[in-house]
Amino acid sequence: MSTTITRPPTDDIASSMRGAQLPNWAGRAALGTGIVVGLAVHLAGLGTFKAIILGWAVVTVGLPLWSRVVEGRRKSTDRLVTILVASAFGIALFPLFSILLTVISKGAPVLSPTFFNNSMRNVVGEGGGVYHALIGTLLITLAASIISIPIGLFTSIYLVEYGNDRKLARSITFLVDVMTGIPSIVAGLFAYAVFVIFFGEGVRLGIGGAVALSVLMIPVVVRSCEEMLKLVPNELREASYALGVPKWRTVLKVVLPTALAGIVTGITLAVARVIGETAPLLVIAGFTDSVNFNLFHDRMATLPVFAYSAVTSPGVPPGPSIDRAWGAALALLLIVMLLNLVARLVSYYFSPKGER
């Protein structure tokens, strides 16, 4: 006589191990209830802030309590922490979206071909543009990059490939960490002090602004390139050494190409970090209404300083000047976003195929 044993379905076993669970629509229902409560409070005239807080409280308290009754304490705690983490993420994004919305809404109406093709020379009231400031920003940032990238890259190569935890390498690492945290105004004062030695008091030069920005940019380049070089597997270096390739050629032909995507990304982000600096450029580069293509002669305008000057000294009437400030801020924001996009594209196309 044979006995047939019928096993319960696998889904039933998994369900019995998991225990009771909330339906899949529970989270959406709690969120919808919170939105309805928030809208009701807002329509009652109690204010937007109170509406947001009460709606959030409904979701934060209601869903975990429902989960506590149905699923137990452990799952309820997990849902509560998930809500708190998501709320923190939303709070962190709120300033970003608020800034973007404000700058775009106020700056977009100003942008036009005339705004980008004209300077502020002999302009009073309406009209004019940011051509002189845009040229100054690009030239000063380019000069700062030419100064900073070789110094930062060679320093990071020494720290990773040749430092070997020596005293000099530890000292350089400590100084780079200190430079990372210095205020930008200190970099401007340093550049001013250096150029005063050669040109006297009251010197204002575009190249001085480039030197000031390079002081801020070098530690960022060093740190980013250093981390990228550390990610290169030692097996690649050892394989090159085993073939009799000298160390300098291994660094040039093996290490740098492997880390190229990360290095270019780090350099691009370092440029984006300094392109919006205002304080050091106010000190050493100054401000002018005219176009200046010569970094070594006279003052040079930049977009951050242009926006600052337009707000602090708007003239009469102040409206057009304030509008131009918002337009300059949006132009600067677009440049930074473009740099970040370039960094992403470079990281994608130059990274190893397995990491795409």
217 within 8 A of 148, measured Cβ to Cβ: yes
Reference 212, options 196, 180, 190; nearest CA is 190
Structure tokens at 113: 């071909």
Residue 3: predicted pLDDT: 53
**120 Cβ contact list (under 8 Å, min separation 6):** 128, 129, 132, 289, 306
What is the distance between the terminal CA atoms of the chain, rounded to a whole angstrom? 61
Task: Provide the b/e sequence for 198-237 (b: ≥16 CB within 10 Å).
Answer: eeeeebbbbbbbbbbbbbbbbbbbbbbbbebbeebeeeeb
Residue 14: predicted pLDDT: 45
Structure tokens at 61: 């308290």
**143 Cβ contact list (under 8 Å, min separation 6):** 206, 207, 210, 295
Task: Provide the b/e sequence for 258-292 (b: ≥16 CB within 10 Å).
Answer: bbebbbbbbbbbbbbbbbbbbbbbbbbbbbbbebb
- CA 263 to CA 351: how far, in whole Å? 11
SS3 sequence, 238-300?
HHHHHCCCCHHHHHHHHHHHHCHHHHHHHHHHHHHHHCCCCHHHHHHCCCCCCCCCCCCCCCC
Q: Does CATH number 1.10.3720.10 belong to domain 123-355?
A: yes
Report the Cα 272 to chain-centroid distance in Å: 7
The domain spans of the chain are 25-109, 123-355
Structure tokens at 16: 């019995």
pLDDT per residue of the chain (356 residues) written in tens, 0 to 9:
455 555 555 544 444 455 678 888 888 888 899 999 889 988 888 888 888 888 899 999 888 898 888 888 898 899 999 999 999 998 999 888 998 999 999 999 998 888 899 888 887 778 888 999 999 999 999 999 999 999 999 999 999 999 888 899 999 999 999 998 889 999 999 999 999 998 888 899 999 999 999 999 999 999 999 999 999 999 999 999 999 999 999 999 999 988 988 898 889 888 988 998 899 999 999 888 889 999 998 899 999 999 999 888 887 788 888 999 999 999 999 998 888 888 888 777 776 665 55
**Sole residue written with tokens 């300077």:** 119
Structure tokens at 128: 């004019």
